[in-house]
Amino acid sequence: MTAKPAGEKSQRKPHIGRWLVCLLAVVLVVPLIPYTFADRGNVPNPGADLWREVRQREAPVTGTTQVKGVDTGVLINIRGEQWRQFRMQTLLPAGGMVLGAVVGLIALFYLVRGTIRVPGGRSGKRIQRFTEYDRILHWSTVFLFYLLAVTGLVLLYGRFLLIPLLGPDGFAVTASACKEAHNLFGPLFFVVLVLLVINFIRSNLPKWVDIKWLLKGGGLFGGHASAGYFNGGEKIWFWLVTLFGLAICVSGFVLLFQNFDQGRQLMEISHVIHSSLALLLVAGSFGHAYIGTLGMEGSLESMTTGSVDANWAKAHHDLWMEERAAKGLDENAAPSPEQQSPPGKTAPGYQT
């Protein structure tokens, strides 16, 4: 028997180790060869289409489910992100610019024109213009409108304006209170608005004289502008409040009462309508409030006392005064409070 050379066993161990490494490499690499040389465009990724739709924002990603209801089959609602971007990048900046521009124009007009005084001064005679019911409806609408306007603006712009002042916790409490107040008084505003429209709609039907009033800018240029019980500007404001207000209420109901099977897309559209029209109506209310207070002497009295000075009425609603004169309604017009005299005496400039 021939003896094996010393060290032969030690020379075989590295040889066997190399074969084991090669075998392991073959086992791991061979299964990957088809994917290496194949056309990768023909090998679909099961999740590629899903995430492509999400990234490209083409359409909502839907699926199937046994749960029946609105949007239950929607896996990813990409329109929600579109709505968020519109709200943050378009609605809020545009709304802020509109409100700021209206306030700036009103301030500029007041600096240039000042308060429009009663032509010829006050006559001392008071003409009944609005009933107590008219004034209750008006001020109820005003109160609810500005309550909803303030709470709505807090919800829209509060995080930018109030967090630096109140802090996150203080703003959270304020926003929660505004949300509850907005939801609570919104339906009540709808009721008051409908009553207001019913009460004043006949007096606000458009007439040809309203076109003439508008062409003369309400008397700012082109001479005196005749008007009836309401002028062209007041009628425009009435119809804006009516149409915009009802649209705001209906869209608000879609957002508030979520039990009519409305989907998220309808609610997003309703939010855009609700917020956009509300911002426009708030901006318009600034002009209406200005004319009724600082802009025109004697206007506010019609909604506080219900009566106006006779000279004011002749200057701004002459056709209405002619109708009253034809019916003999102003023969017993009352004197103004400052011209009322003690019993047994006659006020200067006024004859009973």
Residue 28 lies in a domain: no
Q: For residue 147, is it within any domain?
A: yes
> Residue 171 falls within a domain, yes or no?
yes
Long-range contacts of 270-278, Cβ-Cβ distance < 8 Å, separation of 24 or more: 271/83, 271/87, 272/83, 272/86, 272/87, 272/91, 273/247, 273/248, 274/248, 275/87, 275/91, 275/95, 275/152, 275/156, 276/91, 276/95, 277/244, 277/247, 277/248, 277/251, 278/148, 278/149, 278/152, 278/248
Residue 238: inside a domain: yes
In a domain, 8, yes or no: no
- Parent domain of 213: 91-331
For the beta carbon of residue 154, count every other beta carbon within 10 angstroms: 20
Q: What is the pLDDT along the chain (352 residues), one digit of tens a residue?
A: 455 555 444 444 555 655 555 555 555 555 544 444 444 445 566 566 666 655 555 555 566 666 676 766 666 677 777 888 888 889 999 999 999 999 999 999 999 999 999 998 999 899 999 999 999 999 999 999 999 999 999 999 998 888 988 999 999 999 999 999 999 999 999 999 999 999 999 999 999 999 999 999 888 887 889 999 999 999 999 999 999 999 999 999 999 987 777 788 888 899 999 999 999 999 999 999 999 999 999 999 999 999 999 999 999 999 999 999 888 876 555 554 444 444 443 333 333 2
What is the domain count for the chain? 1
User: Could you tell me if residue 7 is inside a domain?
Assistant: no
**Distance (Å) of CA 153 to CA 82, 146, 249:** 21, 10, 16
Residue 284 belongs to a domain? yes
Element (H or E) spanning 126, and its range? strand 125-128
Would you say residue 50 lies in a domain? no
Whether the model clears a pTM of 0.85, i.e. scores above it, the answer is no
Q: What is the CATH number of the domain that holds 210?
A: 1.20.950.20
